[in-house]
Amino acid sequence: MNIIILHHENNAYLLKLAWNFAYSNKPWSLLLKVRVLKSKYEFRMVYRSSSLWLGTKQFYSTILDYTSWTVGTGSFINFWNDKWCSTTSLANIVGLSNGASIPDTVSQFWSGCDWNIPLSLQQMPHFFNHIMVREEQNIPNWILDESGRFTLKSARTFFLEPRVPCCWGKFIWSSSIPPSKTLVL
C-alpha cells in the first residue's frame, strides 16, 4: 500500500528546498542567503519576512548535519565545521566549542602542494593524508544516500519511520483463526 502521508511529503519537499538553498548559486538562493544568514552557520536575528525562509529554516541545520564534502578547490568549505576529512567535523574532533564563528576555509590551509595544518591538529596527520585539493568544484554529498546525491527520493526516505518487522504476528494469527478473533481467545 503506497499511502502518502502529506506531512512527510511536504517535509520532503521543504528538505529538498533547503538543500537547494544551501548549495545552489541560483539568484533566488543567493538573495535569500544575503537576507537571512550572517554566515553559513549563523542566522541573522532580524530579517525581512520571507515565505521561502519560513519553510526551509527548520531543515537548514539538518542539511548541514547530513552533508559531507568531496574537496575540490577547498573554497567555501569551512575547515572547522564542515565534514570534509572525516565523518565528523574537525571542531568536534578537537573539542572546539566556538568553531562556528571561525570562518577558515579548507583552501586557506592548502599551499598548492602541501598542507599548512594548525599546531593543534599536527598530531592527527592521518586525516589529511588522503585528501588532495584539486582545481575542481567542491561537491556536497548527502550522507544518507550511498551515491551521495540528494534527491527527492532520499528526502522522502529521510522522513519514513523505520519499519520493524513484526515477527510475533505469526504466533498470534493463523490461517484458521482470523486476526479479529485471535485476541478474543
Residue found under cell 565534514: 83
Model's pTM, two decimal places? 0.73
**Whole-number pLDDT of residue 165:** 53
Q: What is the DSSP letter of 100?
A: G
Cβ atoms < 10 Å from Cβ of 175: 5
Block means of pLDDT (10 residues each) for the chain, 185 residues, are 76 94 92 87 77 87 90 84 84 72 78 73 64 77 90 89 55 56 48
3 state DSSP class of 83 = strand
In angstroms, rounded to a whole number, what is the distance separating the alpha carbons of residues 33 and 11? 21
**Which pLDDT belongs to residue 185?**
45
* C-beta separation of 37 from 168 below 8 A: no
